[in-house]
Every structure is written in structure tokens, then in C-alpha cells.
Structure 1
Amino acid sequence: MKALVLNCTLKRSPDPSNTEALAGVVVEQLEKDGVDVEVVRAVDLTIEPGVVSEPVREGDAWPLVHAKLLDAQILVVASPTWLGRPSSVAQRVLERMDAMLSETDDEGRPVAYNRVAGVVVTGNEDGAHHVISEISGALADIGYTVPGQAWTYWHLGPGPGPDYLDDERGRAWSHRTGRAMAANLYGVASALAARPLGAPPE
């Protein structure tokens, strides 16, 4: 089984990413279950604006990401909170994924069917549940199965404050929730692999 983590931080590599650090807890648990996990930092790629899976222009890296999405049974979208909303990188990723709504497999199923998805959020201000709701809702629209408690987040309440990598407070809860998230994603992905959804009725 394969998993793809799309880290939608605004920080380019090799800058440390709070969001990637928390997502690492989910990655570690998935790997304990034998899942092959790949982490992609979307901001390192040239992802053009658009709502198609094909390249918008020369150098557009989205087709590479799209191929990785289709190769993975588990997707984790990880985003920081900015102004109480998902990052602009996360929004661009979701906009490009919109094309998957009209893509089907050989059996007529939307290509996101029988794949599961979850969300990781970091930020030093409130808004995590809003970000989780926006991203989870979009992924469900596209066709992903979003299990119960398929998310984790870290923040220290409203207003400015330290970053995840700078403060130990709250980490134990976020890590425990992240491990539960990974277990739920793996469990539901395994169930769908054993008994996949069919094409929607006409």
C-alpha cells in the first residue's frame, strides 16, 4: 500500500517546516503498518494555476503530482493555517485536483474512489478546524473516502505565538491524534482494497 503526503507549507526546502514535522508523526505510524510513504513539498514544484490534470504550460509539474495521486491509496494533505484558512499552496493543489472529478478508471468509477484521505494542520493561532473542514470537504467532493478522525492539528490558541517546532506544549495530544489518524486511514484503505466501491449507479 502506498501513501502520498502533500505538504502545502509556504517554505521551500531545505527550510524547516512545522507542518512537515507534525505530518511526520502520521508518516511514522503508516510506515509501522507497512505503508510505503512519499512526502512531496508542493511549493518546491512549479504548479501552475488551473483546473486540469494536463500541463498548463511548459514546466508545469502538476502531471507528476497527479500520477503520484493515482499511485497512492492514502493521501494526506498537510497545510499551515494562514488568516484562519488553508495556505495558498493547499488551495492551488485542490484546484488542480478538481479535474479528478471528471476522470474515471477502467470500470467507470471516479479515480479518487477507493482511496482515503486525511488532513494535518499547524499554526500558532486558532482556525485549525476550519482548515480541516475546508480540505476534507474538498477531498470528499473529489471522491476520496475521509474516515472518522482522519486529521490532527497543533496550535496554542488564538493570537500570535510560537511555532510547533519551538514549543513542546500540546504535542502529546497532536501526536496521539496523528497516530490514530494514520491507523484509521490504513484501516479504511485496507477495507476498501478488500471490498472496493463500484461505479455510481446511473
Structure 2
Amino acid sequence: MLDKLVASEVIIFATPIWWGNHCSQIQQIIERLDHIHDDILAGKGSVLDGKTDGILITGDSDGTQHITGSITNFFGAIGIKTPPYTSLSVISDKHQKQERPSKQELMDEYEKQYSDTAEKMAKQLIGSARAG
């Protein structure tokens, strides 16, 4: 996994809201990358220094600011930069467990509600990665 991150210019963490937090898979990634923070504390550089990050969060309830802050804090601690406008929170009642929307219903809502923000996010990520 680390080799793929090192080879990437942009790293995007995507997670659903799970009891007000990010999912356990994101936590596993954070824990597996913790050795980079240990290296930094020991005076070594980060193999991910200068990479650009983005965050995508989905869910049916709020909690996005907490998750974004937590992940952004981790990224910053291991040398990954977070440009402005590079987090996207896709919150919808249609994500509730009891809901059963069709894929098309979800895609229509996403297009209507989030396409402009997603486009801005993509442009920011590309621009930041190119700027180095």
C-alpha cells in the first residue's frame, strides 16, 4: 500500500460517517501509516512529504467537520498538504439504512447537489499537485 501512496501525487481518503466518525478501514490505514510520523519525530523526512490530499465523506447525518478535521490533522502530521476546497461531504437522507433509493436516484441527487463542489475540488487537487 505504501508504494502506491508514494507513487501518487494526490491521495484521497473516502469514508462513510460511522457513528460520528470515519470508518474502521480509514483508521486501519492511519494506524499503518503511523510509522511515518514516528520517523518525523526521529528527525527523518516523510516519504509522503508534499503529496496533496482530499477527503470525501458520505452519510445521512452530520459529523463531517469532525471527520475532516481528524483526517486533515493526520495528513498534516505526516507531511501531506491539504489545499482549500478539497473536502466533499455528501450528506443525504437517502443514505439512511431504511432507505432503498435506486442508483439513478442517488446519481441525480449527487449531480444536482454536489457536481459544482466536486469539480472545484478536482481542480484544486490537480492544481496543488502540479504546483508541487
**TM-score of the pair, normalised by structure 2:** 0.81
Deviation at 1:174, TM superposition (A): 2.0
Deviation string, structure 1 residues 128-187 (Cα, Å, up to 9, x no partner): 222112111111111101001111121126x94647845343543322212211111111
Residue pair 1:79, 1:121 contacting (<8 A) in 2 also? yes
Q: Report what 1:191 is aligned to.
A: 131
Which of 60, 64, 86 aligns to 1:128? It is 64
Q: Give the helix-richer structure, 1 or 2.
A: 2
Q: Report what 2:83 is aligned to.
A: 147
Structure 1 unmatched ranges of 5 or more: 1-64, 193-202
Residue pair 2:57, 2:90 contacting (<8 A) in 1 also? yes
Structure 2 unmatched ranges of 5 or more: none
Deviation string, structure 1 residues 21-70 (Cα, Å, up to 9, x no partner): xxxxxxxxxxxxxxxxxxxxxxxxxxxxxxxxxxxxxxxxxxxx111111
Distance in 1 between the 2:77 and 2:118 partners?
23
Which amino acid is the alignment partner of residue 37 of structure 2? L
**TM-score of the pair, normalised by structure 1:** 0.55
Secondary structure in 2 aligned to 1:174? helix
* Root-mean-square deviation over aligned CA pairs: 2.3
**Deviates most, 143-152 or 133-142:** 133-142
Q: Report what 2:27 is aligned to.
A: 91
More relative contact order, 1 or 2 (CA 8 Å, 6+ apart): 2
| In the alignment, structure 1 residue 177 sits paired with structure 2 residue 117 | yes
Deviation string, structure 1 residues 93-120 (Cα, Å, up to 9, x no partner): 111111122447xxx6321212111100
Residue pair 1:94, 1:138 contacting (<8 A) in 2 also? yes
Q: Tell me the matched-pair count.
A: 124
**Distance of aligned partners of 1:73 and 1:163 in 2 relative to their CA distance in 1, 3 Å threshold:** farther
